Structure 1
Amino acid sequence: MPSWAELPIGRVVRLDADPDAVALALDPLPDDAPAVVTYFAAEERSVADLAASVLRELDKAAIALFPAWLPGAEGIEGPSGMNVAAVQALARGRASVTGHFGPFLAELARRALTGGPSGLAPEVRAAGLVRVLADSFGRARLAILVRVPDELGTAAREVLVAGCEWLAHRGRAGVWLAGAPLDDDRVRTVPVPLPAAFDGAGEAVPVPATADQAPAVAYPPVAGRPHPGSASERALEAALSSRAWAGGRAWNQTYRPGPLAVPIRVDLLWERERCVVEIDGPDHRAPAKFAADRQRDVLLQLDGYAVLRFSDGQVLTDMDTVVRQIGQFLRNRRRAEG
């Protein structure tokens, strides 16, 4: 069984595993894994259309993750001329010592503040976005996990494979296909280093989502920050930021219950009070993820942590109750500790 570090980069392969099991195994990212961004493929008419779709979604992810990939830009917000000049100078300086393509990085930094489309060629954007996204998670490499839907026709499957080959070659990313079989001799199937804990995840049934709910791209959070793609995490952080009792919190931390245990990523942690807050989206109702959540909760509770779970809907529609319950728990625990 290969390690994550041994899975191919710069080429297209198909993973011999259920995509839901792969997603569980990659959260949090194993130490030896590249950064992994998931792309939910849809039917495209041409390779150019597929490339444009993937690059558009990778671009959105890179903009959302700013300033994780540009050290020194923390706290620079808003489209003022001074801010734009500052981030572009930082981008050019970083490119000069890292090998990033300076014009691409400077343009991306500007657009992170001002918005607007890129004016650079697709080949330049592919290579630049792959490097930026890997940097965001402190990894040297990036893999794009492409989830293949069941309903693709023969022509659409051929477009998908050819487009993925373009992306792997131009971006120097690993492109890992998972999901429906493709029956394509160009794509080699490789084993996946899944922990034993996920052996039974292959029978997971995804929770259906409407077209406006399903993301085109998913990516991990950056430790210490709410996930930029999660409206509920960002809203909860905004609500907590003005409350003195909420100090000491840390977003998206990795916790290891024991030296041989599978690490656990928690959404929100108060370490001193041993309190974990989890915010669950609809995907947490899928059988594999639901079972994994219960297992994680038990491991955390055995180590003395309380786990408070709220749904996305609760956070977004009844914030006062969510904040009140978190605050009540923290105050009670602090009183008990004296």
Structure 2
Amino acid sequence: MSSGVRWWSEPPVGQASFLADVDPALLGVGLDPLPAGAPAVVRFRPPLALSVDRYAGAFLDALDGAAMSLFPGWLCGAERLDGPSSLGVEAVRALAARMAAGTEHFGPFLVAAAERALRIRGGLGPGDGPRFPAEVRARGLRALLAEAYRRDHVAVLVDIPASLPPAGEHALAVAAQWLAEHGRFTVWLAGPRLRSVDRIPVIRIRLPAGLAGLTEGAGPGPEPDGGGAELPVLSFPPLSGAPRADSAAEQALERALAPQEWARGRRWNEVLEWHVLGKAYRLDLFWPDDRLVVEVDGDEHRQRWQYADDRRRDAQLQLLGHAVLRFTNEQVLTDPYAVTVTVRDLLLLRRNAPNRK
């Protein structure tokens, strides 16, 4: 690209491309929060050396799981439904049919997805719904994700596994092209160069200066390469105003905070734009009146670029007058009560500070 402006715009919709000399983990840092005008970006970490069919199935199953987790974000009005009772099922089917009538959504797929998501939300499991061809699933899932994030397009950032054999490279490339073409996704392949595949266009993008600067002199984290931790097959951005749909720790912390009177005023996964030229920050949990930020860190925060970015943003937030607390997923899931006590104590301390403005 000749400019850093709209650096996320290549490759175009419906195409799979290889991003040359781009670390997918670093790119993931730059896409959190999603820049204005960028597609919704989900990150896929495929297993090794599968066939084309199995890679395509892995793509679809992961995207389906994301769509189900993001419900009711993609179906307006469904948040008011109590559960999968007979009346609830009829109501969600009616909402989906009404939505499909005036949009690009394929009605039968949307109705079936809405009913299945309502059942999952109610703890009943997905049930037995109609089966759709893979091409219909791909297009339908892309539409659901775009709707959830209120974005025009959806991109899939694929981490190419290290030491992928030639047969695996070929299978992954073909499956990525299939997903892009049939689902109308933008697909970015990043990481080790595909040595035995020449059908994937290679493009170069210029990352923003802030990201490039992150690589200069960034000290390693406690486990710079992620420590061998099991990262999710698919990770996707949170919806503003709610705990991450794919984070059991954030969900558990919200359940612990919800009954507490002192915890009112909290905001989940909102974006703080602190300077017109500065990188915006998505804050896991934020009390804006008290300037208290709480971060819940999964294993990805042990990766080098994420760790460096966390340290840089913590320092900037503190310079802006915010207090920052960080907890690991394990801390929250093991003892949510201890975490809430720590949050409460600091929150009340800040509220009672004599120089509070």
Common fold by TM > 0.5: yes
Q: Secondary structure at the match of 1:68?
A: coil
**Residue 286 (structure 1) aligned with residue 303 (structure 2):** yes
Q: Secondary structure at the match of 1:14?
A: strand
Which of 120, 124, 148 is 2:132 aligned to?
Answer: 120
- 1:277–1:308 contact (8 Å) kept in structure 2: yes
Q: List, as ranges, runs of 4+ consecutive aligned residues in structure 1 with deviation greater than 6 Å.
A: none
Q: Which residue pairs with 1:10 in the alignment?
A: 14
Deviation string, structure 1 residues 207-264 (Cα, Å, up to 9, x no partner): 1445xx3311110000001001101000000000000110010100111120110111
Cα-Cα RMSD: 1.7
Which of 223, 232, 253 is 1:215 aligned to?
Answer: 232
**Residue 197 (structure 1) aligned with residue 221 (structure 2):** no
Q: Which residue pairs with 1:271 in the alignment?
A: 288
Q: Which residue pairs with 1:309 in the alignment?
A: 326
Q: Which residue pairs with 1:227 in the alignment?
A: 244
* TM-superposed deviation, 1:285: 1.8
* TM-superposed deviation, 1:307: 0.7
**Residue 236 (structure 1) aligned with residue 253 (structure 2):** yes
Q: Which residue pairs with 2:122 in the alignment?
A: none
Q: Which residue pairs with 1:158 in the alignment?
A: 170
Q: Which residue pairs with 1:110 in the alignment?
A: 115
Q: Secondary structure at the match of 1:236?
A: helix
Q: Secondary structure at the match of 1:177?
A: strand
* TM-superposed deviation, 1:19: 0.8
Q: Which residue pairs with 1:145 in the alignment?
A: 157
In 2, Cα distance between equivalents of 1:60 and 1:107: 14
In 2, Cα distance between equivalents of 1:87 and 1:175: 31
Which of 163, 168, 173 is 2:180 aligned to?
Answer: 168
Taking structure 1 as the reference length, the TM-score comes to 0.95
AA paired with 2:225? Answer: P
Q: Which residue pairs with 2:77 in the alignment?
A: 72
The number of aligned residues is: 336
- 1:301–1:307 contact (8 Å) kept in structure 2: yes
In 2, Cα distance between equivalents of 1:149 and 1:208: 16
Q: Secondary structure at the match of 1:229?
A: coil
Q: Secondary structure at the match of 2:246?
A: coil
Mean alpha-carbon deviation: is it higher for 144-153 or for 40-49? Answer: 40-49
* TM-superposed deviation, 1:282: 1.9
AA paired with 2:274? Answer: P
- 1:50–1:163 contact (8 Å) kept in structure 2: yes
AA paired with 1:89? Answer: A
The unaligned stretches of length 5 or more in structure 2 are 120-125
Distance 1:279 1:45, change over 3 A: closer
Taking structure 2 as the reference length, the TM-score comes to 0.90
Aligned-pair identity (%):
43
**Residue 334 (structure 1) aligned with residue 356 (structure 2):** no
* TM-superposed deviation, 1:85: 1.0
- 1:77–1:113 contact (8 Å) kept in structure 2: no
Q: Secondary structure at the match of 2:283?
A: strand
Which of 225, 245, 251 is 1:206 aligned to?
Answer: 225
In 2, Cα distance between equivalents of 1:192 and 1:232: 35
Mean alpha-carbon deviation: is it higher for 73-82 or for 273-282? Answer: 73-82
Distance 1:311 1:216, change over 3 A: same
The unaligned stretches of length 5 or more in structure 1 are none
